[in-house]
Structure 1
Amino acid sequence: MSKEIPMITLIKKGSKAFPRYVLAKADEFKNAVFWNGTTWSDESEAILFDDVNKALWTHHDLLMETLSDRPCHQYVVPVYVEIYGDKPKLNDLRAWLEKAVRIVVESPKHGTGPNETFGVVLLDAERTQSV
């Protein structure tokens, strides 16, 4: 377990009408550095994401790189979605879930995981099915 786990932050930029996002973390001197698509650099070189989902998947990929040498234990936590009205097409529901649902983990308040572990919560909207 050699790699230190970075606390990567999604920062909202732009305006309400045209939101944009950058990814940042602190370097070894606690200075902010920003993801430019290849490495961490100053803010002027940061990738400016126009799609929050793309930014979040990039965040996830960067985080997973630092966790790759650790054992992984997966759990399934049922979450039920109730849709009232006409039944939507499954692909439309999946697309909506991918865009609309955000799962918040209050790491500053409760830690990154039980017993010094690091928990990653992932919504797999593609596996959504009717019950």
Structure 2
Amino acid sequence: MSENPTPPILSLVKIGSDEFPRYRIVKGDALRNPVYWNCESETWTENEIEATVYADMNQALWDQHDLLMESVSDSPCHRYVAPLRIELYGKKPHLAQFQEWLERAIRIVVNTPDFGYGPDGAVGLIVAHFGELVEEE
């Protein structure tokens, strides 16, 4: 038996319009049969109409993250920190304003179709904690 978890195939699907984007969390199986996440009942449903429709992409991404974490929670976790330097040129904003902008603007994309979820069958999750942002002296 492999000690590596098998994560679900989760996707964030954009619905709505460009002006009013909305999102659903979808899980597919090996045959790509979709089921949709309902966050109120905390269940997957085959009925797309019963799925939660998110107006806030960040909330949808956090819920997707939580669902992925549930699938790997029984596996050992090894944590690493990779520094990320952010340089801002121009007028200095308030730290809270900058944190809010980072939360909304930054997207870290992992190319799982080409490289898998992690090395040697492990599952890598990347989380940016912009709430811990500090200014370098």
Alignment partner, residue 101 of structure 2: 96
Compared with structure 1, are the counterparts of its residues 54 and 113 closer, same or farther at alpha carbon in structure 2 (3 Å cutoff)?
same
Q: Comparing both chains, which one has the higher relative contact order based on Cα–Cα distances under 8 Å and sequence gaps of 6 or more?
A: 2
Contact 2:11-2:25 at 8 Å conserved across structures? yes
Query: Which of 77, 80, 89 is the equivalent residue of 1:72?
Result: 77
Compared with structure 1, are the counterparts of its residues 10 and 32 closer, same or farther at alpha carbon in structure 2 (3 Å cutoff)?
same
Q: Where does 1:46-85 land on structure 2 (aligned, <5 Å)?
A: 46-85=51-90
Cα deviation code 1:17-74 (max 9, x no counterpart): 1000000011476411000111110211010000000000000011111111011111
Q: TM-score, normalised by structure 2?
A: 0.90
Percentage of matched positions with identical amino acids: 44
Q: CA deviation at 1:4?
A: 3.7
Q: CA deviation at 1:3?
A: 6.3
The RMSD of aligned alpha carbons is 1.5
Cα deviation code 1:79-105 (max 9, x no counterpart): 111111111111111100000000000
Q: Where does 1:89-128 land on structure 2 (aligned, <5 Å)?
A: 89-128=94-133
Alignment partner, residue 10 of structure 2: 8
Flag as ranges the 4+ runs of structure 1 deviating above 4 A. Answer: none
Q: Structure 2 unaligned runs (5+)? A: none
Alignment partner, residue 34 of structure 1: 36
Distance 2:5 2:49 in 1: 27
Q: TM-score, normalised by structure 1?
A: 0.94
Contact 2:4-2:121 at 8 Å conserved across structures? no
Amino acid at match of 1:5: P
Alignment partner, residue 87 of structure 1: 92
Q: Structure 1 unaligned runs (5+)? A: none
